[in-house]
């Protein structure tokens, strides 16, 4: 009888150990998944920021190019679509300046 009690106690101890070990493995697995998701989110956010910077720089180069072209043309030869584009670019720059906290009235001095 004593042997059976010892065997049952050993089995119970083993079950408790396995249960504790399983909880620890589960917790570690959940933590690993969380860490991977955080790292993925961070990489994705950095990628998005780089894409936004790239998009803005391309757009700014386009704006500067159109402005240079328009400044080299005599006023009479400037066609209406380019003037419309120039106004849209001016509006875009003004909006970006406001978002960055720059005084937008400075942009009005150049017009």
> pLDDT tens digits for 91-108?
887 887 788 787 767 656
**Across the chain, what does the average pLDDT equal?**
77
Between helix 2-72 and helix 80-100 the angle, nearest 10°, is 140
Mean per-residue pLDDT for 81-92?
80
Q: Whole-model pTM? A: 0.38
Give the confidence band of 65 by pLDDT, cuts at 50, 70, 90: confident
Place of tokens 């504790």: 20
Instruction: Record the tokens describing residue 46, joined without a space.
Output: 């950095």
What is the C-alpha separation between 28 and 31, in angstroms, rounded? 5
What one-character-per-residue DSSP string does 27-80 give?
HHHHHHHHHHHHHHHHHHHHHHHHHHHHHHHHHHHHHHHHHHHHHHS-GGG--H
What is the C-alpha separation between 22 and 27, in angstroms, rounded? 8
């Amino acid at each position: 009888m004593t042997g059976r009690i010892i065997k049952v106690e050993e089995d119970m101890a083993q079950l408790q150990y396995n249960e504790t070990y399983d909880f620890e493995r589960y917790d570690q697995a959940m933590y690993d998944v969380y860490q991977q998701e955080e790292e993925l989110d961070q990489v994705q956010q950095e990628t998005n920021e780089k894409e936004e910077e790239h998009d803005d720089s391309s757009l700014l180069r386009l704006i500067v190019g159109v402005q240079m072209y328009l400044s080299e043309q005599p006023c009479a030869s400037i066609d209406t679509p380019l003037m419309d584009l120039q106004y849209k670019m001016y509006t875009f720059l003004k909006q970006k300046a406001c978002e960055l906290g720059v005084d937008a009235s400075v942009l009005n001095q150049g017009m």
